[in-house]
Structure 1
Amino acid sequence: MAGNAGRRGAVRRGKKGPSVGSGGQRRKGLEGRGPTPKAEDRPSHPANDRKIGAQKAAEKAERDARSVAGMRKSRPGGDARPGARPTRPGTQRRRAGTGSEYVAGRNSVLEALVAGVPATALYLQDGLDNDTRVRDAVRAASDKGMSVLPVSKGDLDRLTDGAVHQGVALQIPAYEYAHPDDLLQGRKRSDVVVVALDGVTDTRNLGAVVRSAAAFGATGVVVPSRRSAGMTAGAWKSSAGAAVRVPVARAANLARALQAYKDAGLMVVGLDAGGDVQLPDLDVVGTGVCLVVGSEGEGLSRLVRDLCDTVVSIPMSGATESLNAGVAAGIVLYAVAQQR
């Protein structure tokens, strides 16, 4: 009735819904639900499924890394204490790294897969144009039993830290370094050939040294834990998969590691443009060798140079001032292999 419109609790029906006169019974309904959540935070949205899949893949990679580390600690003769040596000859103890790295870009990802770089997952951007490189990368990942996960461009940008990924990224677990003493385990001292890098910060040079070490039968490579390149995704790619066969050790103090090698009977040979002898005159027959390579710009540090038994130089024409660390190490490793 017309006279009841103003009664307390009455509801006036209209095109715009309830209005004044509801008595406050529908106040919550009139307040709304707030801002719309992001697509990746909505449980029923595909973006949320992709986000959860990426998180689960990252968690699985870290669980696998921890599992491998635990298996190595529980092996007979192994020791979980930092710096402790294995009691069983020939065993290698490696320290489990943390986190993951990503190779970004179609060519880089495909090269890493072909080179045998260990990886845990391949990420593909939604709606990616399926060119030959992408198809080959997916095929290579599938052949290795690797997860292939679709993600949004935003997720891929975050995973690769803003790198130019071209819609493709490869997840690689952190490298597990050996201990410098591990490179001597189970080997005659006269058979050992170790390459130590002093101040080499370019990951491509490190990868090239590892590749040369594998080509010429070296025992392993040692890098300092500070101010030095590490076995990142870039180093893995430059090594062309050789890092699978040649262990890379990390030394907390390179000078101390070199002294330990000298005490073990190895001849420490520095490589520098102002060397005491030229490469053709170097004689390492019948002795183990630790070859120390300095950076291209600075060369060997003073302390490391003082520890060397001899310093060798590579004869070059006057037009060429120096070689990068990867090339120089390859030349000397070839010369040592020819003598031995």
Structure 2
Amino acid sequence: MTGSVEGPAAVKDEEVGVGPWPGGPEAWPALEVDGALRYDVELLEHGDRRNVVDEYRYWTVEAIVHDLDTRRHPFHVAIENWAHDLNIGSVVRTANAFAAAEVHVVGRRRWNRRGAMVTDRYQHLRHHPEIADLTAWAEEAGLPVLGIDNLPGSVALEGYALPRACVLLLGQEGTGLSEAARAACQDVLHIRQFGSTRSINAGAAAAIAMHTWVVQHA
């Protein structure tokens, strides 16, 4: 998204973000706000081309995370990663856009971060080696686990009253929720489809599920 905030120099239309703060160091805003560092000297000097909303232009990563932590939503997103699912990056990016509390990666710790578009710097992530570990964590946190998959016996997401605090669990792309994941879910929800394809992309399904939560609660 291109954009500007009050003060920064204009940039070319094809460039993302804003240029150096005009006027040099003498015109910079106070680097600290309420005793905490907010502005990044490098960004003020050279410009901010990051994929962040205008409100956060020139802020440090730490300051952005701290501000997000004051208003994150109480839903979590989990995705199984048994075969290096390329959708995880997309899930992380969407979770950041909707201010999810955390993204949980179940299975392999390593995942392809390209799709996250660097949003993993601002989004809390948690790893669980097995579904049982996620289930134990959710039980301790008092959060119901809801699966997202078009399985026989699943309930339509549309019209389902999502709990305000919950975990939305998605399976591996192609295979869907594992047997262990299905057993861990309070309910499994499907997204209604009207075309010929059997399923939609896991990253897209995650986005629809998160937006459904936002429509109901945010």
TM range (shorter): 0.5 to 0.7
Are 1:200 and 1:206, in contact at CA under 8 Å, matched by a contact in 2? no
Aligned partners of 2:173, 2:107: CA distance in 1, in Å?
19
- 2:118 maps to which of 231, 241, 245: 241
Cα drift, residue 316 of structure 1: 0.4
Give the corresponding residue for 1:278. Answer: 156
Are 2:80 and 2:107, in contact at CA under 8 Å, matched by a contact in 1? no
* 1:306-321 equivalence runs, <5 A: 306-321=183-198
Task: Point out the structure with max Rg over C-alpha.
Answer: 1
Aligned partners of 1:284, 1:273: CA distance in 2, in Å?
17
Aligned partners of 2:179, 2:85: CA distance in 1, in Å?
23
TM-score normalised to structure 2 length: 0.62
Deviations 1:132-179 (A, max 9, x none): xxxxxxxx9x959xxxxxxxxxxxxxxxxxxxxxxxxxxxxxxxxxxx
Aligned partners of 2:209, 2:197: CA distance in 1, in Å?
17
Asked if 1:208 corresponds to 2:102, the answer is no
Structure 1 residue runs of 4 or more that deviate by more than 4 Å after TM superposition? none
Cα drift, residue 231 of structure 1: 4.1
Note the residue ranges of structure 1 that are not aligned, 5 or more in a row: 1-113, 116-139, 145-185
Give the corresponding residue for 2:144. Answer: 267
Aligned partners of 2:136, 2:187: CA distance in 1, in Å?
14
Are 1:195 and 1:291, in contact at CA under 8 Å, matched by a contact in 2? yes
Are 2:82 and 2:107, in contact at CA under 8 Å, matched by a contact in 1? no
Deviations 1:185-207 (A, max 9, x none): x999xx52111112463453111
Q: Secondary structure at the match of 2:87?
A: helix
Aligned partners of 2:104, 2:90: CA distance in 1, in Å?
14
Aligned partners of 2:161, 2:181: CA distance in 1, in Å?
20
Q: Which has the higher contact order (CA 8 A, sep 6+)?
A: 2
Are 1:224 and 1:254, in contact at CA under 8 Å, matched by a contact in 2? yes
* 1:129-140 equivalence runs, <5 A: none
Structure number with higher helix proportion: 1
Aligned partners of 2:104, 2:70: CA distance in 1, in Å?
17
Aligned partners of 1:187, 1:265: CA distance in 2, in Å?
21
Q: Secondary structure at the match of 1:204?
A: coil
Deviations 1:34-93 (A, max 9, x none): xxxxxxxxxxxxxxxxxxxxxxxxxxxxxxxxxxxxxxxxxxxxxxxxxxxxxxxxxxxx
Residues 300 and 187 of structure 1: CA distance in aligned 2, closer, same or farther (over 3 Å): farther
Note the residue ranges of structure 2 that are not aligned, 5 or more in a row: 1-15, 18-42, 48-68
* 1:1-340 equivalence runs, <5 A: 143=46, 191-199=73-81, 201-202=83-84, 204-226=86-108, 230-232=110-112, 235=113, 237-274=114-151, 276-285=154-163, 287-340=164-217
Aligned partners of 2:119, 2:178: CA distance in 1, in Å?
28
Residues 330 and 200 of structure 1: CA distance in aligned 2, closer, same or farther (over 3 Å): farther
TM-score normalised to structure 1 length: 0.41
Are 1:259 and 1:307, in contact at CA under 8 Å, matched by a contact in 2? no
Are 1:211 and 1:240, in contact at CA under 8 Å, matched by a contact in 2? yes
Residues 302 and 246 of structure 1: CA distance in aligned 2, closer, same or farther (over 3 Å): same
Q: Secondary structure at the match of 1:280?
A: coil
User: Which residue type is aligned with residue 323 of structure 1?
Assistant: I
Tell me the C-alpha RMSD between the 2 structures. Answer: 3.0
Are 1:223 and 1:254, in contact at CA under 8 Å, matched by a contact in 2? no
Cα drift, residue 254 of structure 1: 2.7
Identity of aligned residues (%): 30
Deviations 1:296-315 (A, max 9, x none): 32111111111100000000
Are 1:198 and 1:294, in contact at CA under 8 Å, matched by a contact in 2? yes
Q: How many residues align?
A: 154
